[in-house]
Structure 1
Amino acid sequence: MTSIDLNADLGEGFGRWRLTDDERLLSVVTSANVACGFHAGDPATMRRVCELAAERGVVIGAQVSYRDLAGFGRRAMDVPPAELAAEVAYQIGALEVFARAAGSRVAYVKPHGALYNRVVHDAEQAAAVVEGVLIADGGLPVLGLPGSRLLELAAQAGLRAVTEAFADRAYTDAGTLVPRGQDGAVVTDPEAVVERSVELARSGQVTARSGARIGVRARSLCVHGDTPGAVELARRVRDRLEASGVRVESFV
């Protein structure tokens, strides 16, 4: 039977402000990308999400980012490699404290936003992320875009490279994500998102924005938690996957 992991970005709040419905999303997803304080999240939020994830058997991942609270980690930045490696390790370590206190552990690492897109092509920044993972825990899998420099360098360093696809993001013909600032970058039709999810899981293909069919082989599927109706959409995606004969389970 075909299987796929279902992940979502969680803990994306700060202080009294909350963006994601963490409690309800944790009843749907199999992996939680928890914000570690650099693009969103704070200690209390990280602790709460880790406790909820541990209670529900959801795997915890560290979602590391550039230090950019004001821009939600989506602004391009040039961070010196040594500094970036240290900041990645710092974020993983902070989340690990709360994961272990909840009886779980950090089981993988996924970059967020501008950093995620940067390490698709930028070998220097990708190597810094890998170095940060090695500093924090030399055995953590790394989640990223198929064909990215990040996954290439992670594999070379002996880390498990896990490929990821996005049901609600538009793709270029090259298999990269259409930048969020461009029209049509986010797929907003719920039924289209659901259909793309099944297509990605079963065939490893998706229709790019140009209309071309491209291959996107992925072990994990991301459903964004910060979109309107995210919980209901994630539930529809999971239900349709399972109805189509796809087993939804963590890659860890």
Structure 2
Amino acid sequence: MNARIDFNCDLGEGCGDDAAILPLVSSASIACGGHAGDEETMRATLRLCRAHGVAAGAHPSFEDREHFGRRALTLPPDEVARMVREQVLRLSAIAREEGIRLAHVKPHGALYNVAADDHGVADAIAATVAQIDPSLVLFGLSGSALTDAAAAHGLPVAHEVFAERGYDARGRLLPRGTPGAVIESLAEAIAQVRRLALHGEVVAHGGRVVPLRADTLCLHGDRPDAAAFARAVREALLADGVAIAAVTAA
């Protein structure tokens, strides 16, 4: 059983109630201009993080605002590195102005999913983060190429699991648009959260039980009911005796 887990949410994307969600989570991954976000939204989200004592991190993505960063693009590793570097440094500069130090980096959407299995992309992301700041925690899909790359580059790593996304038998997220990819039922999501936090496993689509390391739990902030969802997840974790706290580099 995990005595402690990080509870993170993707924010600053202009499509959710960030102010209502922030008090309920321990980490926020902030859109930094690739799929969403601009200086104003980045600054506003950082200020909310500071006000609520929430760890702030960068949420870089493919530069594809039209598709919200959820379309996989075929790019060479050096282009992936450029995108990640520019977006993380953009948020980092604003964070410094606000007196905040970034705690982590979590790729968004299609970039995150590509990095789960593409070792070249995963290595480009991890190497770039290590060059920017080797104390940044790199969030990646639990048991993926990205978490392996983070460890290989000496970064602190957080294996991430999801409250309201379905899994396949390999422990990968089901592609959006396929049956079971998004868990709409709060009861089903809570059951998945409890199994992940207490037992380190998930029931995949098709019924197979897949073991997963769960350092940090993600809830998507673009859900229309994200604040209520976050509150219910938080209450369930606390009721089970699981402490909610940000992942640290130490």
Deviations 1:30-76 (A, max 9, x none): 00010011001111000000011011100001011011110100001
Instruction: Give the one of 164, 169, 174 matched to 1:173.
Output: 169
Instruction: Give the one of 111, 130, 136 matched to 1:134.
Output: 130
Distance in 2 of aligned mates of 1:217 and 1:126: 18
Contact 2:192 2:202 in 1 (8 A): yes
- 1:247 maps onto 2:248 in alignment: no
Map of 1:158 onto structure 2:
154
Distance in 1 of aligned mates of 2:227 and 2:147: 29
- 1:99 maps onto 2:95 in alignment: yes
Q: 1:22-37 alignment to 2 at 5 Å?
A: 22-37=18-33
Equivalent residue pairs, number: 247
Map of 2:6 onto structure 1:
5
- 1:68 maps onto 2:64 in alignment: yes
Deviations 1:219-246 (A, max 9, x none): 1000111112110010000011101111
Distance in 1 of aligned mates of 2:171 and 2:135: 27
Contact 1:89 1:135 in 2 (8 A): no
Tell me, what secondary structure is at the counterpart of 2:106?
strand
Q: 1:208-247 alignment to 2 at 5 Å?
A: 208-247=204-243
Amino acid at match of 1:29: V
Amino acid at match of 2:107: P
Deviations 1:110-167 (A, max 9, x none): 0110001001110111111112212322321100112211111111111112101001
Deviations 1:162-198 (A, max 9, x none): 1010010111111111111211100000111112111
Amino acid at match of 1:58: V
Unaligned runs of 5+ in 2: none
Tell me, what secondary structure is at the counterpart of 2:238?
helix
Amino acid at match of 2:12: G
Distance in 2 of aligned mates of 1:227 and 1:73: 16
Amino acid at match of 1:133: V
Amino acid at match of 1:126: A
Contact 1:87 1:132 in 2 (8 A): no
Distance in 2 of aligned mates of 1:218 and 1:173: 17
Contact 2:13 2:36 in 1 (8 A): yes
Distance in 1 of aligned mates of 2:190 and 2:3: 17
Map of 2:39 onto structure 1:
43
Distance in 1 of aligned mates of 2:136 and 2:10: 18
Tell me, what secondary structure is at the counterpart of 2:67?
coil
Q: Percent identity?
A: 44
Unaligned runs of 5+ in 1: 14-18
Contact 2:143 2:213 in 1 (8 A): no
Deviations 1:77-135 (A, max 9, x none): 01221121121111111111222222211111101100010011101111111122123
Post-superposition offset of 1:216: 1.4
Contact 2:141 2:147 in 1 (8 A): yes
Contact 1:92 1:106 in 2 (8 A): no
RMSD: 1.1
Contact 2:143 2:212 in 1 (8 A): no
- 1:58 maps onto 2:54 in alignment: yes
